């Protein structure tokens, strides 16, 4: 039996905060404890009440203990694409991304990259992510095998792409179906792995392949679906030209049965009112990738317009177009993007977004994203004074809200003291 108590300042969210003053949305224990046993959380609360005698204590006072971060959209094969200069979406894919993904045909390369990928996620306190792998089934095997070795709850899948890409990265409708079905059989629900059916985007899938994706979703309704939507105006024009019968970009996916509560629509920046309504009505989720949208100059995601319709959006790094692996930095960038639209994202809501909010988007809030008893013990321990600039700011901080905002704007992997996966510390600083 593996049993531990983590002691520190403990924070977990019960629901989405209604503004920055909504402290009722969170559980907060100034001298708190999280009791973990065999990969799950047994109890969370005041240390004096929760810590049973005789169980070893990891004393992290005065650090902050919260649920591990969740990244709702990332590209496993793009760790070496980060910081590639000077292009917008379609040119960037051709110049940098596709050549990098071609190398994942080599399973040895894919395995080496998986080690680096998970090292970086855990270093940044990210314990779950939804990732696009490359077109090659071997990339998916490398991705899930390394996650399994580390005990991590990860979502992912092979990208489907059969046109507008180099020959070496193209499958066919039939191989897309067969390879995905075999990968689902091999990985979906094995340990903590969850499969996501992953048509890259409408531009790289023929109607025949989109039909294959539709058949996969129909045959595996408990798998997630992830794709890209309305990131860039040239992309939208090309997608609509390739599917002239569709009413718009979102409708391409809609008419192929890809929308629903398990659908993750990366970017979703340039939407019509009707598209926002349809995302909300179908229960689908847009995923905001703020540093990527700035890096590629794609545009400003309007989270409030979707929230007003009752749609919950995710937030993500979108590595390799993203500029940081840190979900803290990503939350800070979401703040800046909201500011450009005349809104101020409050720190409680931003912190909820990178933990419980993303768990809700993934339909996994009963398993990850909080410190509630019975959930999986994925946690992060944060030092709000980890750097000189954080320490200087924190000396003037008034309350928890100030502290969380300082972490979102100034924090990154240097603030991560320890990351815990399934009840074990895996990344001591």
2 phi and psi angles, rounded to 5 deg: -110, 110
The distance of closest approach from Cβ of residue 189 to Zn ion in the complex, given in angstroms and rounded to an integer, is: 25
Contact between residue 380 and residue 69 where contact means Cβ atoms under 8 Å apart: yes
Q: Which stretch binds Zn ion (CB under 5 A): 2-10, 244-252, 269-277, 318-326?
A: 318-326
Q: Is 227 helix (H, G, I), strand (E, B) or coil?
A: strand
| DSSP, res 312 | P
Binders in 255-274 for Zn ion, by CB under 5 A? 266
The distance of closest approach from Cβ of residue 50 to Zn ion in the complex, given in angstroms and rounded to an integer, is: 40
Element (H, E) at 173: helix 173-187
Of 5 and 265, nearer to Zn ion (C-beta) is 265
Of 266 and 411, nearer to Zn ion (C-beta) is 266
Per-residue contact string for residues 44-63; x = within reach of Zn ion by CB under 5 A: --------------------
Cα 124 from Cα 82, distance rounded (Å): 16
The distance of closest approach from Cβ of residue 130 to Zn ion in the complex, given in angstroms and rounded to an integer, is: 10
Of 60 and 228, nearer to Zn ion (C-beta) is 228
Determine, following the binding rule CB under 5 A, whether residue 171 of this chain makes contact with Zn ion: no
Q: Percent helix, strand, coil in the chain (nearest 5)?
A: 40, 20, 35
The distance of closest approach from Cβ of residue 228 to Zn ion in the complex, given in angstroms and rounded to an integer, is: 6
Count interface residues toward Zn ion (CB under 5 A).
2
The distance of closest approach from Cβ of residue 258 to Zn ion in the complex, given in angstroms and rounded to an integer, is: 16
Strands (E), 38-125: 40-46, 57-67, 69-75
Those residues with Cβ within 8 angstroms of residue 25's Cβ, 6 or more apart along the chain or in another chain:
13, 14, 15, 16, 17, 18, 348, 352
Cα 277 from Cα 279, distance rounded (Å): 6
Of 266 and 357, nearer to Zn ion (C-beta) is 266
Q: Is 181 helix (H, G, I), strand (E, B) or coil?
A: helix
Element (H, E) at 255: helix 249-255
Q: Which residue has the tokens 């496993």?
A: 76
| Bridge partners of residue 155, in order along the sequence | 130, 194
Of 294 and 380, nearer to Zn ion (C-beta) is 294
Those residues with Cβ within 8 angstroms of residue 43's Cβ, 6 or more apart along the chain or in another chain:
33, 34, 35, 50, 373
Nearest Cα neighbor of 83 from 360, 324, 257, 258 is 324
Of 316 and 328, nearer to Zn ion (C-beta) is 316
The distance of closest approach from Cβ of residue 320 to Zn ion in the complex, given in angstroms and rounded to an integer, is: 8
| Bridge partners of residue 264, in order along the sequence | 226, 285
Of 79 and 411, nearer to Zn ion (C-beta) is 79
Determine, following the binding rule CB under 5 A, whether residue 318 of this chain makes contact with Zn ion: yes
The distance of closest approach from Cβ of residue 72 to Zn ion in the complex, given in angstroms and rounded to an integer, is: 11
Of 296 and 406, nearer to Zn ion (C-beta) is 296
Of 8 and 266, nearer to Zn ion (C-beta) is 266
The distance of closest approach from Cβ of residue 252 to Zn ion in the complex, given in angstroms and rounded to an integer, is: 17
The distance of closest approach from Cβ of residue 132 to Zn ion in the complex, given in angstroms and rounded to an integer, is: 6
Q: Which stretch binds Zn ion (CB under 5 A): 28-36, 84-92, 98-106, 316-324?
A: 316-324
The distance of closest approach from Cβ of residue 230 to Zn ion in the complex, given in angstroms and rounded to an integer, is: 12
Number of H helices, E strands in the chain: 17, 16
Q: Is 160 helix (H, G, I), strand (E, B) or coil?
A: strand
Determine, following the binding rule CB under 5 A, whether residue 231 of this chain makes contact with Zn ion: no
Binders in 175-194 for Zn ion, by CB under 5 A? none
Q: Which stretch binds Zn ion (CB under 5 A): 80-88, 184-192, 294-302, 310-318?
A: 310-318
Of 79 and 266, nearer to Zn ion (C-beta) is 266
Residues that bind Zn ion (CB under 5 A): 266, 318
């Amino acid at each position: 039996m593996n049993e531990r108590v983590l002691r520190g300042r403990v924070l977990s969210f019960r629901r989405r905060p209604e503004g920055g003053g909504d402290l009722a949305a969170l559980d907060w224990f100034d001298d708190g404890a999280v009791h973990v046993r065999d990969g799950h959380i047994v109890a969370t609360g005041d240390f004096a009440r929760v810590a049973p005698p005789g169980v070893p204590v990891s004393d992290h006072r005065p650090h902050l203990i919260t649920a591990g971060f969740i990244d709702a959209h990332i590209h496993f094969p793009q760790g070496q694409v980060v910081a590639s200069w000077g292009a917008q979406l379609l040119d960037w894919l051709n110049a940098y991304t596709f050549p990098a993904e071609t190398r994942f045909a080599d399973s040895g390369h894919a395995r080496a990259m998986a080690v680096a990928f998970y090292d970086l996620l855990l270093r940044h306190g990210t314990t779950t992510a939804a990732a696009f792998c490359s077109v090659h089934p071997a990339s998916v095997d490398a991705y899930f095998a390394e996650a399994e070795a580390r005990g991590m709850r990860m979502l992912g899948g092979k990208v489907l792409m059969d046109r507008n890409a180099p020959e070496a990265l193209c499958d066919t409708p039939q191989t897309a179906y067969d390879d995905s079905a075999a990968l689902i059989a091999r990985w979906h629900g094995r340990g903590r792995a969850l499969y996501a059916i992953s048509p890259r985007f409408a531009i790289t899938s023929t109607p025949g392949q989109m039909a294959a994706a539709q058949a996969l979703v129909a045959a595996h309704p408990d798998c997630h679906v992830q794709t890209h939507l309305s990131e860039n105006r040239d992309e939208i024009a090309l997608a609509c030209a390739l599917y002239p019968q569709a009413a718009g970009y979102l409708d391409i996916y809609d008419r192929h049965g890809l929308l629903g509560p398990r659908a993750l629509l990366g970017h979703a920046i340039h939407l019509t009112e009707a598209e926002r309504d349809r995302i909300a009505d179908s229960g689908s989720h847009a995923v905001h990738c703020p540093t990527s949208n700035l890096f590629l100059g794609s545009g400003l995601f309007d989270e409030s317009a979707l929230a007003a319709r009752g749609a919950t959006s995710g937030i993500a790094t979108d590595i390799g177009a993203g500029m940081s692996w840190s979900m803290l930095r990503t939350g800070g960038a979401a703040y800046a993007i909201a500011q450009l639209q005349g809104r101020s994202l409050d720190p409680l809501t931003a912190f909820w977004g990178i933990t419980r909010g993303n768990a809700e988007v993934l339909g996994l809030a009963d398993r990850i994203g909080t410190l509630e008893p019975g959930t999986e013990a994925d946690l992060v321990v944060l030092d709000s004074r980890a750097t000189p600039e954080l320490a200087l700011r924190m000396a003037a901080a008034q309350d928890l809200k100030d502290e969380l905002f300082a972490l979102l704007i100034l924090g990154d992997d240097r603030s991560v003291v320890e990351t815990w996966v399934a009840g074990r510390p895996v990344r001591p600083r």
